Structures are given as structure tokens and as C-alpha cells.
């Protein structure tokens, strides 16, 4: 049934999404993960507001961007499972930051009205991206430790200023956290049963930039 639904949506090229406020637009299912679909419109919105590590662009959607959003959704779901819940102040700050990237809250509201997308859907994406980032911080970055021997090996022989030691330690800590995150995601993807739609990418982005 899932495969049939994906190909029907791709064939028609139109998806009447419940979170579209005004008019339907061209959309396509690109993948399924943990029983949920990933659509071109989600990638377009995440791109436009620089969410889930995506960057604004009007170029066709690439496989690497789909993988990035799938990873983001997996991380968000794990955050929910662990009951990581940002405070109302953190959620509002994330919303203001996303709105600023669109030119401010007034410009964001006008853009969403123009493309027929509900603010509630976009808020869910913004909230999900915040939970993803908080999970990465709590699960990986907070536990990425660099030992004295590892730090000294990276610095090399000779005296080193405090600023240099701090910069190298920060780089090693960041690299260790990223390595642990990549390993976790490889395992999580296999458990999630990610199924890209064959031949769906590259695909046009149905969401114009603000």
C-alpha cells in the first residue's frame, strides 16, 4: 500500500496536504522512514528557513538533502522518545530566529500566505529542528571528551599558547561528537527502515524562497 501511494502521488504530481492553508501545489513523496513520508515540500520549507542543516536554494532537490532531512527526522523522533522538550522561551526564540531568516515575522507570514502553507506546519518543523539540535547537544556534544594525551598529540611538540590549546581542544571535541553522531545515525537508519522512492531525485522544489 505504501509503495502504491508513493507512485500515485509521484504520477499525479499533486498532493493535497492537510497543512496547506490555501491552494495545493506541486509536491512529491521522496521517501518513507519509520512509517512516515518525507515530501519535497518539507525539504523546500526546511531549505527556505535553514532548518535541519539545509541551506536556502532554488536548485533541484538532491539525494544528499533528502538524507539530511531523513536524519533530522530520526533525531527529532529520538528526542521525543527521550522526552526532550524545549521550554516555551526556547521554542519562541527558535521561531523568531527562523522568521528573521525569512526577513522577519511579518515577511514570513506574508510568504506563507502567498504559497498557501499554514504557520502551524512551519512551527512544527521549527520545533522539530530545535529538538534535534538539543538531542545532539545532550547525547553527543556534552559527552565528547578529549584526553590530555590526545590533545598533546594534536598540538605537537613545543610550547603552545592557551588560545591555541583551547582551539585545538574545541576542534577535537567537535570531531569526536560528529564521529559518534555519524555512527549512531548509521545504526538508526537501519532500524528506521528508510525507503527512498526510486527515481524521485533530483526533483524540482515546490516551495519558492521567501
- Alpha helix locations (H) across the chain? 2-12, 40-48, 63-81, 88-101, 105-115, 119-139, 148-155, 162-192
Domain spans of the chain, in order of start = 2-136+175-196
Burial class of 101 by CB neighbour count within 10 A (0 to 12, 13 to 18, 19+): middle
- As assigned by CATH, the class of the 2-136+175-196 domain is mainly alpha
Closest-CA residue to 10 (of 188, 203, 178): 203
C-alpha cell recorded at residue 76: 527529532
Instruction: Give bridge partners of residue 38 from the DSSP assignment.
Output: 31
Instruction: Determine the pLDDT at residue 135.
Output: 97
Instruction: Give bridge partners of residue 14 from the DSSP assignment.
Output: 26
pLDDT digits (tens), the chain, 210 positions:
444 344 334 333 333 343 433 344 568 999 998 888 999 999 999 999 999 999 999 999 999 999 999 999 999 999 999 999 999 999 999 999 999 999 999 999 999 999 999 999 999 999 999 999 999 999 998 888 888 888 788 888 888 888 988 888 889 888 898 999 999 999 999 999 999 998 899 999 999 999
Instruction: Determine the pLDDT at residue 185.
Output: 96
Instruction: Determine the pLDDT at residue 61.
Output: 97
Those residues with Cβ within 8 angstroms of residue 22's Cβ, 6 or more apart along the chain or in another chain: 113, 116
Instruction: Determine the pLDDT at residue 25.
Output: 54
DSSP code of residue 158 = S
50: left (phi over 0), alpha (psi -120 to 50) or beta: left
15-70 pLDDT, tens digit each = 334 343 334 456 899 999 888 899 999 999 999 999 999 999 999 999 999 999 99
Instruction: Determine the pLDDT at residue 209.
Output: 95
Amino acid at each position: 500500500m505504501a509503495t502504491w501511494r508513493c507512485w500515485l502521488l509521484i504520477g499525479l504530481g499533486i498532493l493535497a496536504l492537510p497543512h496547506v492553508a490555501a491552494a495545493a501545489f506541486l509536491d512529491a513523496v521522496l521517501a518513507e522512514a519509520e512509517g512516515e513520508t518525507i515530501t519535497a515540500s518539507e525539504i523546500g520549507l526546511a531549505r527556505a528557513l535553514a532548518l535541519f542543516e539545509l541551506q536556502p536554494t532554488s536548485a533541484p532537490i538532491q539525494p544528499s538533502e533528502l538524507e539530511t532531512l531523513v536524519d533530522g527526522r530520526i533525531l527529532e523522533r529520538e528526542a521525543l522518545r527521550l522526552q526532550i522538550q524545549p521550554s516555551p522561551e526556547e521554542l519562541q526564540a527558535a521561531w523568531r530566529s527562523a522568521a528573521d531568516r525569512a526577513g522577519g515575522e511579518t515577511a514570513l507570514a506574508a510568504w506563507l500566505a502567498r504559497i498557501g502553507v499554514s504557520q502551524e506546519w512551519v512551527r512544527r518543523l521549527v520545533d522539530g529542528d530545535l529538538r534535534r539540535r538539543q538531542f545532539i547537544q545532550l547525547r553527543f556534544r556534552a559527552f565528547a571528551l578529549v584526553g590530555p594525551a590526545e590533545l598533546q598529540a594534536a598540538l605537537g611538540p613545543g610550547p603552545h599558547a592557551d588560545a591555541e590549546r583551547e582551539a585545538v581542544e574545541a576542534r577535537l571535541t567537535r570531531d569526536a561528537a560528529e564521529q559518534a553522531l555519524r555512527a549512531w545515525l548509521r545504526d538508526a537508519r537501519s532500524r528506521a527502515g528508510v525507503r527512498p522512492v526510486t527515481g524521485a531525485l533530483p526533483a524540482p522544489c515546490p516551495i519558492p524562497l521567501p
